[in-house]
Chains A and B, each alone.
Chain A
Amino acid sequence: MKILAPVHKFFKNRAWKPFPFQEELWKAYLNGESGLLHLPTGSGKTYAATMGAFAKILSQPKKKGLKVLYLTPLRALTRDLELALNEPIVQEGWSIKVESRTGDTSVAMKKKQLKNPADLLLTTPESLAVLISQPDADEILQTVDLVILDEWHELVASKRGSLIELGLSYLRQLNPELQTWALSASIGNLEEAAQVAVGSTVIPKIISGGVSRELDLEILLPEKIDGFPWAGHLGFFLKDALVNSLDQKESTLIFTNTRSQAERWYNTLAEAVPEMEGELALHHSSMDRDEREAVEAGVKSGDIKWVVCTSSLDLGVDFQPVERVVQIGSPKMVARLLQRAGRSAHRPGGKSRLLFVPTNSWEIVELEAVKKSLASGQIESRRPIKKPIDVLIQHMTTLACGPGFRMDELWMSLQNTHSFSTVTRAELNWCMKFLTQGGETLKNYSQFHKVSYDEETGRYKLANTRMATLHRMSIGTIVSRESVRVSYTNQKKIGSVEESFISKLRKGDVFQFSGKKLELVMIKDMHAYVKATTRSTNTVPSWDGGRFSLSETLSESFREVISEKNHPIQQFLGPLLEAQRKRSILPEKDTLLIEKWSSKEGEHLFVFPFEGHSVHEGLSQLWAYRFAQRKPATFSFSISEYGFEMMGPVGYEYESLFDDDFFSEENIEAEINASVQISSLTQRQFREIASIAGLVFTGYPGSRKTGKQMQISSSLLYDVFSKYEPNNLLIKQSYDEVLTGALESERLKKTLRRLSKMKTVWKELLYPSPLSFPLFFSMSNGNHLSNETLEMKVARLKKNVAKTR
């Protein structure tokens, strides 16, 4: 293709040769195709995605306006991409303008970008939505003919992905010829992810390129086998072994699964290796952004050698110096382990090195399961979310801020999406009524106004400009639970924590946060002021982040591993599996193990489907309901990745009540719904939905400008809606999201079918077995769920209050 001559010239000047997948994508783009580029390592993807468009821009020098939108999940990435894209432009003297537009871009710059748009704009999904909300959005965006979706595997299964889908549907309405190219790492459902990206009316072209980077997967084991705990998730018993295996000269990322765990490990390492001061850092998403960016810069420059981090560094800028990655605790997903491993040796031909640190003995089995999945090429799918109504309502409000929208146009544009094409007329009308009248019945909302209908143009627009300002500030689908900012008394910011944590502290209490020891001075207006201290502390904030469940892929491999006879690390697994055999049995692949144990607190039932936390949570609720139907009782629960425990009253006889109906799929939604536990999960889920749909205004970042009259907690909203408007689609959505998301109901049904074909073995225990011990242990730590009603709880509380007197 002649049109690609300037691009080939650039590669030649660099003495490079384009990869075949790059040439393939450029040609497909120039032929008008859309699709997905699948690259296991990601190297070469940026030029693959953009050079075709650059060639086209150079061939049409007279064409004005914005032509390419490049969406990335992180604003930090836009800076590096801008530099990378400007290299050929500067070197070859191309007249192409590349700019970034994110939350960091100044207001003046943003205005300039609207007047005199660049050829290619790097932005985030949220900033695109804000752009769409501008009064003259259609003028700026109608010239766009290519959208590039970077790190699509990270976005496709989230509400951010849904937000992008809706943004694309608007762009396609402006320009039906719009092309889309998604860039993705390996996932189990590439075809589906590609279809979501290109919309339902186009057949996506899938290009695969590059080879997987070699992976060197090691496990850290203690010198002696005994003393390896059966439960726990911190893994400090391997501290010395870890310190010995780390190289102080080698750039290393140390991943943990939670922010609290990262804080604790950072502290532990800082004490164990004081000479690393200045070269050891902490990085997680609740720390102040300036500090995080300083850490990122330190890693890039090589000044910082070891970083204890969380998923906050799963994505992000390329860290050339990183040589090695450590994963503390189960990665829960094959894909996450690969992603993290890929953060090391980030250059073509490099070999990734990952050291896995198990935090209890069962996690040794998990690593074996990861290896098994990798060997057979199994990797998790990332399924898009089906028509989230909250995101749709947010999108409609966004459109109403801009030029306004017509219902027929909106309807047509939704038909072209993958996830929203199943929205019914009735559902869309409900959303419309919700925005214009407040709900289905006008009389209930006498004061309401948000979106109004303009008879002249037939368009729906926001009722006033103040609503538009408020809406732009709350665009996005990431809802933070952290409401309390933490800073030094001189106002220097440190980060943010959850209110429930800080409210437990008193003035003078010391806690560790952001790697620092801090003393609470005072709390004022949702702002905690602290000062540095040298007093030691064990208090670390906990954050209620999303919980990852052991994936379906990994669960299956796990079940295979434990029923195998010979393991590569037999000396470590042997004693564990032997203890399980001795105290109970080690379940074969076709055996469902149920253990019973009596303590003075009550009758414990331990069930081991090995299907991940979320399925076990749903299953425990379902079985509790079914037991209680046969003989009424109150149960407490404890859940793990391998099974669940229920504890009933002393003398409760599970086995005689048990029958094949426990495996029935019939009525499971209704039966789970009947449990008290689901209503509290649903209420929690509603918090996010209410915020995305614009029902609660989370406020101007870092200020208290919101009128007090506008503040209402989502739990109150939830109560009011469920009471006065039970058919509210957002309430229904919360319920559906809990069922399909948190409890993975489809996987639960599959599990019931699997279990029903298995042989059920009941084992009476004298002592908890290695499998049941972690469940028993977390239950006795007070970390469990219960299915009591408020009345039952209060009755018990009053009784216990009387006892303590």
Chain B
Amino acid sequence: MKLELSNEEIHLLPEKAFYWPKEKILGLSDVHIGKAESLQSFGIPIPSGPHLEDLANLEKLIEKTQAKSVFVLGDWIHQKNSWSPNILKDLDTFFNKHKNLNWTLLIGNHERGSIEYLKKYPFKIIEDAYAKPPFLFTHGHLQARAENLFQIQGHIHPVIRIKEGSTRLRLPCFVLDQNSLTLPSFGSLTGGYEVSHQKNRRFFATAEKTVFEVPY
């Protein structure tokens, strides 16, 4: 699904990421790597593995888009208890393979305690918002605002409930407002927050291999 935002072409991808072809930037948010491991540390016996699926999805997406840069808009890592040996090992393997790309990470609310760990990876780490006109990239938990810039953010894991006849679906979605785009969460082990409708707000639902606009 192609959109024109501030005169720039932006592709909304069913893999729950966006692509900015002119700059060859792939953007995504809220991967929450190591959420399973973090839950394990709280005594919830959930299997490890979701992060491998997320990393594999990201790898496929890099190949598919031929991106040169990847922007992660925060919450790459779930929590400081997420740094288990298997996570460290799998991230090493992943970044060894993809160190030639430009990696940028905006620190999200979940990874405040993980900055030291994150420095080991080829990320350019940014603790607040990042302006690349005409866009302002932010995680979305702080009230970052810049005049005249269109904001792209994550943080809330938007989902939309669709009701059509007897069909009920709850799908991750992009939320487009007058002056901002909110991304769905990229990670497979993340919940969702139902975003309510507002004036001039548009919803683009993701489902398996497609993105489609849900009219209100």
Contacts and interface: CB of A to CB of B under 8 A. Distances in A.
A448 B41 contact: yes
Contacts of B169: 790, 793-794, 797
A445 B79 contact: no
A720 B41 contact: no
Contacts of A783: 166
Contact of B41 (A435, A449, A503, A723): A449
A680 to B, nearest CB: 10
A648 to B, nearest CB: 15
B191 interface: yes
A710 B39 contact: yes
Across chains A and B, which 5 residue pairs bring their CB atoms closest together, nearest first?
A: A438-B45, A724-B47, A450-B43, A448-B40, A447-B40
Contacts of B38: 447, 709
Contact of A445 (B40, B190, B196, B207): B40
B47 A721 contact: yes
B49 A723 contact: yes
A656 interface: no
Contacts of B164: 796-797, 800
Nearest to A805: B215
20 contacts: A434-B45, A435-B45, A438-B47, A439-B47, A443-B86, A444-B47, A444-B48, A444-B49, A446-B37, A447-B38, A448-B41, A709-B78, A712-B35, A712-B46, A712-B191, A720-B189, A788-B167, A794-B208, A794-B210, A798-B212
B45 A446 contact: no
Nearest to B212: A798
A798 B214 CA distance: 9
Contacts of B214: 801
Interface string B173-216: 00000000000000001110010100000000001101011110
A716 interface: yes
Given A446-B40, A636-B166, 19 more contacts: A438-B47, A444-B49, A445-B48, A446-B84, A450-B43, A694-B43, A695-B46, A709-B42, A710-B42, A713-B191, A720-B50, A724-B48, A725-B47, A782-B165, A785-B166, A788-B167, A791-B208, A797-B162, A805-B215
Contact of A447 (B37, B50, B189): B37
Contact of A786 (B36, B43, B167, B208): B167
Interface string A439-458: 10001111111100000000
Contact of A720 (B46, B162, B191, B207): B46
Nearest to B166: A782
Contacts of A717: 46
A584 to B, nearest CB: 26
Contacts of A785: 166
B43 A467 contact: yes
Interface hub of A435, A447, A448, A463 (most chain B Cβ within 10 A): A447
A695 B213 CA distance: 36
A785 B41 CA distance: 39
Interface residues of A, number: 53
A712 B213 contact: no
Interface string A410-453: 00000000000000000000000011011100011111111000
A376 interface: no
Nearest to B38: A709
A383 interface: no
B69 interface: no
A63 to B, nearest CB: 41
A707 B167 CA distance: 34
A709 B114 CA distance: 14
A784 interface: yes
A794 B162 CA distance: 10
Contacts of A721: 46-47
B81 interface: yes
Nearest to A725: B47
Contacts of A724: 47-50
Interface of A: 434-435, 437-439, 443-450, 463, 467, 470, 503, 506, 636, 694-697, 707, 709-713, 716-717, 720-721, 723-725, 782-786, 788, 790-791, 793-794, 796-798, 800-801, 804-805
Contacts of A444: 47-49
B215 A794 contact: no
A666 B214 CA distance: 44
B44 interface: yes
Contacts of B207: 790-791, 794
A554 B192 CA distance: 44
A785 B162 CA distance: 16
A793 B49 CA distance: 28
Given A446-B84, A446-B85, A720-B49, A710 B208 contact: no
Output the residue of B35, B42, B189, B208 with the most chain A CB within 10 A: B42
A725 B48 CA distance: 10
B47 A784 contact: no
Contacts of A796: 164, 167
A797 B213 CA distance: 10
Contacts of A437: 45
B156 to A, nearest CB: 13
B203 to A, nearest CB: 11
B108 to A, nearest CB: 13
A556 B78 CA distance: 56
B109 to A, nearest CB: 10
Contact of B215 (A449, A697, A801): A801
Among B162, B165, B208, B212, the most chain A Cβ lie within 10 Å of the Cβ of B165
Interface in B29-86: 35-50, 78-79, 81, 84-86
A496 to B, nearest CB: 19
A782 B191 CA distance: 27
A797 B85 CA distance: 44
A712 B164 CA distance: 28
A265 to B, nearest CB: 27
B44 to A, nearest CB: 6
B86 A446 contact: yes
A478 B86 CA distance: 37
A716 B37 CA distance: 14
Contact of A709 (B79, B210, B212): B79
Counting chain B CB atoms within 10 Å of each CB, the highest count among A434, A438, A506, A695 belongs to A438
Contacts of B213: 801
A720 B194 contact: no
A801 B212 contact: yes
Interface string B84-112: 11100000000000000000000000000
Given A446-B85, A447-B38, A724-B49, A712 B208 contact: no
A649 to B, nearest CB: 15
Contacts of A712: 35, 39, 44, 46, 189, 191
Nearest to B84: A446
Contacts of B37: 446-447
A434 to B, nearest CB: 6
A657 to B, nearest CB: 24
A797 B189 CA distance: 26
A707 B113 CA distance: 15
Q: Of residues B48, B79, B162, B213, which shows the largest number of chain A Cβ atoms within 10 Å of its Cβ?
A: B48
Nearest to B109: A708
A424 B37 CA distance: 30
A786 B45 contact: no
Contacts of B212: 794, 797-798, 801
B90 to A, nearest CB: 11
Contacts of A711: 191
A800 B215 CA distance: 11
Contacts of A710: 39, 42, 44
Contacts of A445: 40, 45, 47-48
A709 B50 contact: no
A716 B191 contact: yes
B33 to A, nearest CB: 13
A575 to B, nearest CB: 32
